[in-house]
Amino acid sequence: MGKSLLKLLSKEDLDKIHRATVKVLEEAGVKFLNDEALDILEKNGAIVDRKTKIAKIPEAVFDEFRKKAPSELPRYTREGKKIPNPKDFSIMTFGEGTYFTERDGTQRPSTLEDIKKIMIVGDALENVDIAWVGSMPTDLHPNVQMIHSFEVLVNYSTKPVFLFTENGDQMRYAMRIGAALLGGMEELKKTPITVGGGWATSPLVHAKEILDSQIMAAKEGLPTLCGSMATAITTAPATLAGTLVVWNAEVLSSLVLSQMIAPGVPFEIECSGSAADPRKGYYPVGNPEMALVNAGCMELSHYYDLPCLIAAC
């Protein structure tokens, strides 16, 4: 039996979202809270306001650099073995939850030990393709949570590992771990197991620390990424189309930066968008609107022929 794929947006819809994204990038711009990022953008044709730290990206510049990004993000194991990307989709142990539910129903803050258990189970499951933390080690200081999580991933999973770093220091340590595992920095560049960058701050802001990680990785030729949790009603317009435009402008402006640094460097766009509860304003996970936003993001990734990760909450 063939697979039935959800088709949410028509070609005309996608074209309209693209045109609206171009308008946002050209007229409103995106805030990059990092002077080095602004230097790179300005040098390559963006119009930068140093006072507001907003970069406006002309359509010609946007088109030139977004088209340099490859259509695949290669996946490698801790031994440097490349795992082919499936034609349809992959499943990973996605998530960074902060609470763990015991078998008796009681809840407690999640720990590094929980991540080890998640990795062991995920490594044994045939339908799990990629290892991600699945939880956060709240028993550690926030500044070192991601790097210790990466240590657990490479020690307890034989599958391709995926973890981005949230600042320059974390990226530096992740590169050292990867180089030690694979036999040196040059081997890490050939078979990368760490990714630079992180998630935008909606609406239309890239944080300094995330950009530090992204720039450092791109300079070394390592893959980079940008995700967004653009949320209808709070950090994005109330409409699905408007939310997708905000998401699109955020992730593609980040992609342009990476391609300015290292044309052709792998880049993944990511989405965990939703719609806020209008009564209380909180971010709900698993609601119907979240499925629609993430499906729209995936269709846009096909429109641009880019690798994409979406939440399946």
Question: Could you read off the pLDDT of 139-183 as tens digits, one per residue?
Answer: 999 989 999 999 999 999 999 987 778 899 999 999 999 999 999
pLDDT number for residue 280: 86
The single-letter DSSP state of residue 71 is S
pLDDT at 89: 75
pLDDT of residue 87: 66
Residue 202 has pLDDT above 50, yes or no: yes
- Whether the pLDDT of residue 1 is over 70: the answer is no
Range 13-22 average pLDDT: 98
C-beta separation of 232 from 243 below 8 A: yes
197-226: average pLDDT: 97
Classify the phi-psi angles of 134: left when phi > 0, otherwise alpha if psi is within -120 to 50, otherwise beta.
left
User: What pLDDT is stored for residue 216 in this prediction?
Assistant: 98
Q: Considering only CA atoms, which of 238, 77, 58 is closest in space to residue 162?
A: 77
- Mean pLDDT over each residue of the chain, to the nearest integer: 93
Residue 44 burial class via C-beta count within 10 angstroms: exposed 0-12, middle 13-18, buried 19 and up:
middle
DSSP 102-130: -TTS-EEE--HHHHHHHHHHHHH-TT--B
CA distance 28 to 205: 12
Domain boundaries, given as residue ranges, for the chain = 11-74+192-310
Pick the CATH number of 11-74+192-310 from 3.30.450.20, 3.20.20.140, 3.20.20.480, 3.40.1190.20: 3.20.20.480
Per-residue pLDDT band for 313 (boundaries 50, 70, 90) equals low
Residue among 220, 167, 211 nearest 193 (CA): 220
Each residue's pLDDT tens digit, 43-87: 999 999 999 999 999 999 999 999 999 999 999 998 999 988 776
Q: Could you read off the pLDDT of 224-278 as tens digits, one per residue?
A: 999 999 999 999 999 999 999 999 999 999 999 999 999 999 999 999 999 999 8
* 172: its two tokens: 């530096």
Give the global pTM. 0.93
Q: Is the pLDDT of residue 6 over 90?
A: no
Residue 220 DSSP code: T
